[in-house]
Structure 1
Amino acid sequence: MTARRQLIIRSVAVAAALAAVGTPGLALAQAKLKVAAVYTVPFEQQWVGRIHKALKAAEARGEIEYKATENVSNADYERVMREYATAGNQLILGEVFGVEAAARKVAKDFPKVAFLMGSSLKPQAPNFSVFDNYIQEPAYLSGMVAGGMTKSNRIGMVGGFPIPEVNRLMNAFMAGAKETNPKVEFSVSFINSWFDPPKAKEAAFAMIDKGADVMYAERFGVSDAAKEKGKLAIGNVIDTQSQYPDTVVASALWNFEPAADRAIKLVKEGKFAAEDYGQYAQMKHKGSELAPLGTFEKKVPADIVAKVKAKQADILSGKFTVKVDDSQPKSTAK
């Protein structure tokens, strides 16, 4: 091959490379981050659903390649994590409350992979960050709404497990309800499952039969019971009012986008480090909010709406801080 021909071939190759860099679509494809998630429950479960939604949004924007596995048993969680890490995923998410030791072991074995996991414990250097849905602020506001809507002064509350992540939301809700209605009493129970709508529904029926006319739907199934009995419900984590337009009055929403977007950005920049992402669930970071009253906009008393708006302003300004109470809530109704 002549020197001239070699020069021409090199010139064509360089031109092609420069063209690829200058083409937005190709550049974007090269910048995509490989992200995976491991979930112990189905995508439809509200807590995991919010994580999945945020990652699907990043995927839709073309920022990441996203793969996820749902309904992974605790016994199989470590294996699935390792498979995703070995497959070259740069960021792995999920919830590890029941598999903390195993998940942290995987993170140690893959120090160049970033992990952002739902956890009750602290971050683990250098690559294991933690998050939680610290949405006690909108939970407090939704409680204020509930206190103003109950006619029997009795609210039923059905939770999954009495762990800090659930307890703090229930306690905040109860405090909010007490602010607008000091006479309110609560019936509290836990179904010891993250996803068992029939069991949650039965627990709700029992409370309604004893006089509860507003239900705190921490789990799926509670709003179904309220709908069947003609009672009201307050949602948690996601907004289900479109499915229950005459039942769900308000909901405390968790937005995982601020945490997900931050992690994706830091991994791309090579700056990801072990930290606690809990603050990114707060209202000031747009990590949580009180859902619009929607179909109940004109049904909630005007004075209650005014109090909720004023309290929300105080929360956002820092004038009022919702107490984080992780202790197990107790029934006050006899």
Structure 2
Amino acid sequence: MTSHVKTQLPTRRRFLTSTAMGALSISALSAPTALFAQDPIKVAGIYTVPVEQQWVSRIHIAALAAQEAGEIEYTYSENTANTDYPRVMREYAEAGYDMIVGEIFGAEAEAREVAAEYPNVAFLMGSSFKEDPTLPNLSVFDNYIQDAAYLSGIVAGAMSESGNIGMVGGFPIPEVNRLMHAFMAGAAEMNPDITFQVSFIGSWFDPPKAKETAFAMIENGADMLYAERFGVSDAAQEKGVLAIGNVIDTQADYPETVVASAIWDFGPTMTAAVAAVKAGAFTADDYGQYSFMHVGGCYLAPFGTFEGKIPQAALDLIATREAAIKDGSFTVTINDEEPKSS
């Protein structure tokens, strides 16, 4: 593993105090009293990919912001293989860390066994499975940013001239599937006749493979790409077609290519978990709720260079749907099934 302690921190901080307090349920009062922690608490991140990778970068940025605010002391390990994940978890737990955050999609059973060995350590883990009440010190989360993905789909449906959209994902697991389905629903609302090419590259970080997959879709008529993985926007830029970003905002890197992006803000999730640990109230819970738009966990990135180029009908629909999502009168369907090509 590669371990780091960062001292240069970003100045931007997005915390929702009311959201954090929402995590402190009455049932959480039964959590082990040893989970009470002083200010700041020690937090370790364990990541299977580089912290620059889209998904992990959101957790990393939120942790850096919490450290800058004096809420936590933070260190992390990146490029940790799934086979090494349990060992690294134990090392941080033995080192006295109050909370360990990461992603256990490829080591579910082993990671949960480790968490059971350290009941006084809070584990906040990205997972495709739900929390287990018999394991009160492990909570799960996932990027439930289907609200923002839906809005980005509206943009894509309005901007595609061929009515053919290519979608390149990593693996067909729930966290990816639900965003693709939401995106497709938004695009279809603008153009019911739109078609989709869907492919998964079998990797979370293989830009060359993602790029080649995207090239094949462009050759097959796609003039708009859904860039769930790095490499897709590069293909779009080279071939002069448009792209929609996912999780992070890459518009500045592809000013003539990336029209919009669905952004995940892990800040509300981190805030809620840290508050729970400090209150001695951390218990088995699903923190995916803090990724929803109505609590600030996701949003549609600014259009940047595409301001004024998106059809007004799409902008009007986005405004209407966003307001309805936030007030609860419109709900984006969560569909975790594997999406298929049209």
For normalisation by structure 2, the TM-score amounts to 0.87
Is the 2:128–2:173 Cα contact (8 Å) retained in structure 1? Answer: no
Matches within 5 A, 1:265-304: 265-304=275-314
Q: Does 1:147 find its partner at 2:169?
A: no
The amino acid of 2:243's aligned partner reads A
Q: Distance in 1 between matches of 2:39 and 2:331?
A: 40
Q: Indicate the larger mover: 78-87 or 269-278.
A: 269-278
Equivalence for 1:187: 197
* Pairwise CA distance, 1:315: 1.0
* 2:106 counterpart SS class: coil
Partner residue of 2:188? 178
Paired residue type of 1:236: N
Which of structures 1 and 2 has the bigger CA Rg? 1
- Counterpart in the other structure of 1:61: 69
| 1:320 to partner: Cα distance | 1.0
Whether 1:158 aligns to 2:168 is: yes
Give the counterpart letter for 2:266 in structure 1. Answer: F
Partner of 1:97: 105
Gaps of 5+ in 2: 1-37
Asked if the contact 2:130–2:286 (Cα under 8 Å) also holds between the matched residues in 1, the reply is yes
Q: C-alpha offsets along residues 300-326 of structure 1, whole Å, 9 cap, x if unaligned?
A: 011111111111111111111111111
Query: Alignment RMSD, CA only?
Result: 0.8
* CA distance in structure 2 between the partners assigned to 1:328 and 1:98 by the alignment: 18
User: What does residue 36 of structure 1 align with?
Assistant: 44
Alpha-carbon separation, structure 2, partners of 1:114 and 1:328: 32
The higher relative CO (CA closer than 8 Å, separation ≥ 6) is in 2
Q: Summarize the alignment of residues 1-334 of structure 1 with structure 2, pairs less than 5 Å apart.
A: 31-124=39-132, 125-332=135-342
Tell me by how many angstroms 1:60 deviates.
Answer: 1.1
- Partner secondary structure for residue 31 of structure 1: coil
* Whole-angstrom CA distance in 2 between matches of 1:270 and 1:317: 32
TM-score, scaled to structure 1: 0.90
User: What is the deviation of 1:31?
Assistant: 2.0
Distance in 1 between the 2:224 and 2:129 partners?
Answer: 33
In structure 1, C-alpha distance between the alignment counterparts of 2:172 and 2:47, rounded to whole Å: 20
SS of the residue corresponding to residue 292 of structure 1 reads coil
Shift of 1:209: 0.9
Distance 1:195 1:271 in 2: 36
Moved over 3 A (4+): none
Whole-angstrom CA distance in 2 between matches of 1:97 and 1:251: 24
What 5-or-longer segments of structure 1 have no aligned partner?
1-29
- Measured in 2, the distance between the counterparts of 1:310 and 1:294 equals 21
Q: Partners of 1:177 and 1:278 in 2: how far apart?
A: 24
Where is the helix percentage greater, Structure 1 or Structure 2? Answer: 1
CA–CA distance in 2 between the matches of 1:327 and 1:275?
23
Q: Distance in 1 between matches of 2:169 and 2:188?
A: 19
